[in-house]
Amino acid sequence: MNKKVTLLAGVSLAILLSGYTSAAHAETFKWAGTTDPQTMDPHATNSAPVLGFLNNVYEGLVRRNKEMKIEPALAESWEQLGADGWRFKLRSGVTFHDGSALTADDVLFSYERASSEESDVRSWFAPVKSVEVVDDLTIDFLTNAPNPLFPDSIANFMIMDRDWSANNAAERPSKEAENYATRNANGTGAFTITARDPGVKTTLKPFANWWDELESNITEAIFTPIGQSATGMAALLSGEIDFISPIPLQDVPRMKERDGFRVHEGVEARVLMFGFAHQADSLKFSDDVSGKNPFQDVRVRQAAYQAIDVDALVSKVMRGNAQPAAQLVSDAMRGYSAANASRLDYDPDASKQLLADAGYPDGFSFGLQCPNDRYINDESICKAAASMFAKVGLNAKLTSMPVRNYWPELREDKFDMYLLGWSPGTFDAEHPIRFLVATPNKEKKLGSWNFGDYSNARVDELLPAIQTELDDAKRQAMIDEVTKVMQDEVAYIPMYVQPLIWASKDNIELTQRTDNFFILRWVTVN
Amino acid sequence: MVKRWQKWARENELFYLFSNNRIAQLAALLAFLCVAGAALSPWIAPSNPYDIASIDIMDSLIPPVWSENSDTRFLIGTDDQGRDLLSAILYGTRLSLLVGLLSISFACVLGVSVGLMAGYLGGRFDAIVMRIADVQLSLPAILTALLIDGVARGILPREQHDSLMIVVLTVAIGLSLWVNFARTVRASTFVERNKEYVQSAEIMGMHPIRIMLVHILPNILGPILVILTVDLAVAVLLESTLSFLGVGVPPNQPSLGTLIRIGTEYMFSGEWWIVIFPSAMLIIMVISINVLGDFLRDAFNPRLR
């Protein structure tokens, strides 16, 4: 018996040791996330998994540092041209991964590409009137009106090479179909993509001719999407991967106690909310209501709002790791409306009364769409919300699906109500107003993620004023007004601010940025 | 009356073997309990897990009654949505068994008719049908089921998915299991076809269909019964596997596989009961059905006694 125990101990020690030694000198860094970036095209999808991933490969004129402040990247410096716009001086000697040099013409091309009809990020350029190349390393972005926040708003505007795109017939981004840039990338960033197998794995290695000094000691990085969180945890615990984001909230306490691993916690800028089909003439998935859309009635929207017990969602589904939210941005964002900080109370009786007033005393059924691999516990939140809705007579027929299918479904208006999380890329309250609240308008590049086509004339009137106002107090007053309108009309049901929970082996040094972007060049394997 | 029953019991071989086989008796008891629990779930379950209005998220993840922080309303705890796990398991077993029984009946009817015809008619029909069966046999049943399930999902409009999912599952599992029936029935029919009673029936001018159904079928029921039992367990497992993979029954109507899938997400965090109890239920049910099948096989095969 004793011998057996010693033998067992010896074997497990040997296994342990071999695991540690191999981890010590390997600089291959393996990481996993729940969502695979759908595309390698930086202008085709405005979503955090894509932009976050591509931030390692492509670069913008400016970039955000560890504290989320703007710092020079491809542009060495920039200055305001009075009220007309901004002039950017490009860094000299920057090359793309294929060896060609960066010029102002590439920036112009990237602007044309990113602001084209096919682009998903065109609303970033709503304030831009025109872009003019001054010389090889100088470029002007001329705006319709003074735009103090413009450099802040284009940190994720990534620069592509004109020749590379032209040679590979990828001069325009492609949202639905694929083109060359969907699977291949040619940026100026710290890492190059060496292999890409969509949905399976993506391999990167450092770019030898990068203009900046690399903080990281990684020689190879491999990203694997793992949809099942338990599988991801098992992979981390068994040493198959070095880092995972996010980990299931229920595993946080145990993970903290375990030796050899580290949990990285923070608050993300992302607010989770339910959106409505505001403009649809009828419900698409209802059994009992046809020919009309109850969600056009503000009382029905408020009934849905008050049926949700956000505190219960936060304490149970999110295990206390989230903050309830009353508006589309968290209180850490610039422009947060302190005057409108309180949520409507959870009150099922009031909900029932509102439904009865609106002519639906017995409630009605509708379709609720939900992603199941995008946000933390997204499907559980939807299931819990569905049962809360059911208590007031709102019979939500829940359909959950991976994001890969989710965004196309929403774009085709196949929903009555849907779940959305929004993290303002500019860290400013103006961002969600532009994307989620402004009336969708292709010409003006507004409301591109306003799937339910919410529309309010006063908001549309105030938005340009907010974008150009230089005086902080006046600007805040306008944001407050918009926030009030949104709350009064229940344009969305904001629920809570999502936490950031990452986990890694304890030999990994990394920086957790509040936009949930995982930046490889700050990762060190010890 | 009693005497007649005693006489029957004494003379009935199957009953005699059963009364002497403790393991088969235990398996039968367990299988009976599973089936009865499932069939009576609307009446015996403490709550209705399909009624989402009755679920409260504040009741979620409560451990079984013998642990700390438990709640006497929930005998073996609750899942992540606050559903009573016992009720969910009973309803889930019902759904799993229902899909299993439906699909195995489908497979049985299809397989037996094809097998009878192939064995009796022989010739080209036999060659073609049995080659198809061979091809299908080279594919794992789960793959066939996934394929049919996937195609059906692609074709059907999404609004009808939930209502038609049971039918799709039945067809998918049924089509992946019919081969066993067809091959066995064909082989047995081959043997029976050349016996005198079939030949005399042929000489009397009976219709082939009548010969197959009235004369041959009753004589090959033994093997069919064995496959029926063993494959029922396989069908239940297939359904659970599909649901575990997320392509089975709709998520708001949990079958055992769905419950196990939810449970695996809590494996590392200490909420063991969500995965253990549904798994245990599935294992007990499948093993007991399998043991019964084995018993039947031995009972019908004189050489194995």
Length of chain B (residues) = 305
> Does position A21 have pLDDT exceeding 50, yes or no?
no
The DSSP-derived string for A41-52 is: -TTT---HHHHH
Secondary structure tally for chain A: helices H, strands E: 16, 19
Q: What is the phi/psi pair of residue B206, to 5°?
A: -70, 150
CB contact under 8 A, B265 and A228: yes
Over the stretch A504-522, which tens digit does the pLDDT of each residue have?
999 999 999 888 899 999 9
Confidence category of residue A17, pLDDT binned at 50, 70, 90 = very low
- Distance of alpha carbon B82 from alpha carbon A383, whole angstroms: 11
Tell me the DSSP string of A204-270.
EEE-TT-SSPP----SEEEEEE--SHHHHHHHHHTTS-SEEEPPPGGGHHHHHHSTTEEEEEEEEEE
Q: Do A254 and B269 touch (CB under 8 A)?
A: yes
Look at residue B224 in the predicted model and tell me its pLDDT. 92
Comparing A490 with B269, the larger pLDDT belongs to A490
The residue among A231, A237, A250 with the most chain B CBs within 10 A of its CB, best to mutate, is A250
Which region holds residue A393: left if phi is over 0, alpha if psi is between -120 and 50, else beta? left
Where is pLDDT greater, at A19 or B141? B141
Q: Do A316 and B61 touch (CB under 8 A)?
A: yes
CB contact under 8 A, B162 and A317: no
Q: What's the confidence (pLDDT) of residue B26?
A: 94
pLDDT cut 70: percent of chain A above it: 95
Q: Residue window 247-276, chain B: list those with CB within 8 Å of chain A.
A: 251-252, 264-271
Token pair for A84: 């007309």
| Short-list A452, A484, A499, CA closest to A324 | A499
- The pair of three-digit structure tokens given for residue A433, joined into one six-digit string: 């107003």
Note the residue count of chain A.
526
We report the CATH number of the domain holding residue B189 as: 1.10.3720.10
> Into how many domains does chain B fold?
1
**Residue with tokens 């909230």, as numbered in its chain:** A249
Q: In this complex, do B58 and A316 lie within 8 Å of one another by their Cβ atoms? A: yes
| Contact with chain B for residue A254, Cβ under 8 A | yes
The answer to the question of residue B231 being in a domain is yes
Task: Check residue B304 and give its pLDDT.
Answer: 60
**Would B12 be classed as within a structural domain?**
no
The yes-or-no verdict on residue A70 having pLDDT over 80 is yes
- Cα separation, B282 vs B264, whole angstroms: 15
Residues on chain B touching A312 (C-beta within 8 angstroms): 57-58
CB pair distance less than 8 Å for B264 and A233 = no
Residue B91: what pLDDT? Answer: 93
Is the pLDDT at A9 greater than 80? The verdict is no
Residue B247 domain-assigned (yes or no):
yes
Give A397's contacts in chain B (Cβ within 8 Å). 162
Residue A209 to residue A102: CA distance in whole angstroms: 13
Average pLDDT over residues A322-337: 92
Q: Average per-residue pLDDT in chain A? A: 90
- pLDDT at B69 (0 to 100): 85
Report all structural domains of chain A as residue ranges with CATH numbers, in order of start. Answer: 13-227+506-525 (3.40.190.10), 268-500 (3.10.105.10)
State residue B10's pLDDT score: 67
Q: What is the pLDDT of residues A396-447, one digit of tens each?
A: 988 888 888 899 889 999 999 999 999 988 889 999 999 999 999 888 888 9
pTM of the predicted model, to two decimals?
A: 0.79
Q: Give dist(CA B131, CA B118) in Å, integer.
A: 11
Rounded to a whole number of angstroms, the distance from the CA of A17 to the nearest CA of chain B is 24
Q: Do A387 and B60 touch (CB under 8 A)?
A: no
**Other C-beta atoms lying within 10 Å of the C-beta of residue A331:** 14
Partner B contacted by A388 (CB < 8 A)? yes
Asked if residue A269 has pLDDT above 50, the reply is yes
Find chain B residues with C-beta within 8 A of A402's C-beta.
none
Please, which pLDDT band fits residue A391 given cuts at 50, 70 and 90?
Answer: very high
Which of A237, A387, A414 comes nearest B81 by C-beta? A387
Which one, of B233, B281, B221, lies nearest residue B101 by Cα? B233
State the burial class of residue B18 (Cβ atoms within 10 Å of its Cβ: 0-12, 13-18, 19+). Answer: middle
Range of the domain at B90: 26-31+83-304
> Which ipTM did the prediction report?
0.73
Mutate to test the interface with B, among A287, A316, A381 (most CBs of B within 10 A): A316
In a domain, B152, yes or no: yes
Per-residue pLDDT of chain B (305 residues; tens, 9 = 90+): 667 777 776 677 788 888 889 999 999 999 999 999 999 999 999 988 888 888 888 888 889 999 888 888 899 999 888 889 999 999 999 999 999 999 999 999 999 999 999 999 989 999 999 999 999 988 888 888 888 888 887 888 766 777 788 888 899 899 989 999 999 999 999 999 989 999 999 999 999 999 999 999 998 998 899 999 999 999 999 999 988 887 777 766 788 998 998 888 888 888 899 999 999 999 999 999 999 999 988 888 766 65
Residue A11 has pLDDT above 50, yes or no: no
Instruction: List, in sequence order, every residue forming a beta bridge with A243; answer none if it has no partner.
Output: A31, A504
DSSP-derived letter for residue A177 is: S
Would you state the pLDDT for residue A174?
Answer: 87
The torsion of the CA quartet B252, B258, B260, B261, rounded to 10 degrees, works out to: -100
Nearest to B52 among A229, A251, A390 (CB): A390
pLDDT score, position A26: 53
Q: Is B69 within a domain?
A: no
Model confidence band, residue A8 (pLDDT cutoffs 50, 70, 90)? very low
Q: A254: which chain B residues are within 8 Å (Cβ-Cβ)?
A: 268-270
pLDDT of residue A246: 87
Q: For residue B158, which residues of chain A lie inside 8 Å, CB to CB?
A: 399, 414
| 8 A C-beta contact, residue A276 and residue A496 | no
**Nearest Cα to B58, choosing from B78, B30, B37, B32?**
B78
Report whether pLDDT(A308) > 50. yes
CA distance B41 to chain A (A): 21
User: Residue A393's closest chain B neighbor by CA?
Assistant: B53
Specify if B75 maps to a domain: no
- The larger pLDDT score, comparing residue A87 to residue A230, is at A87
In this complex, do A316 and B159 lie within 8 Å of one another by their Cβ atoms? no
Mean pLDDT of A173-180: 86
What are the chain A neighbours of B252 within 8 Å (beta carbons)? 383, 386, 398
A397 at interface of B, judged by CB pairs closer than 8 A: yes
Residue A59 has pLDDT above 90, yes or no: yes
Among A233-247, A316-330, B245-259, which stretch is predicted with the lowest mean pLDDT? B245-259
Q: Is the peptide bond before A246 cis (omega within 30 degrees of 0)?
A: yes
Distance from CA of A111 to the nearest CA of B (A): 38
CB within 8 Å: A253 and B269:
yes
DSSP A90-109: EPTT-B-TTSPBP-HHHHHH
Burial A461-491 (b: 16+ CB within 10 A, else e): ebbbebbbbeeeeebbebbbbbbebbbebbb
Within-domain flag for B18: no
Q: Is B158 on the interface with A (CB under 8 A)?
A: yes
**Confidence band for A93, pLDDT divided at 50, 70 and 90:** very high
Element (H, E) at A134: strand A128-135
- For residue B195, what are the CA distances in angstroms to B188, B198, B199, B202? 11, 6, 6, 11
Nearest residue to A350 (alpha-carbon basis) of A294, A297, A311, A302 = A302
Residues 6+ apart with CB under 8 A from A25: none
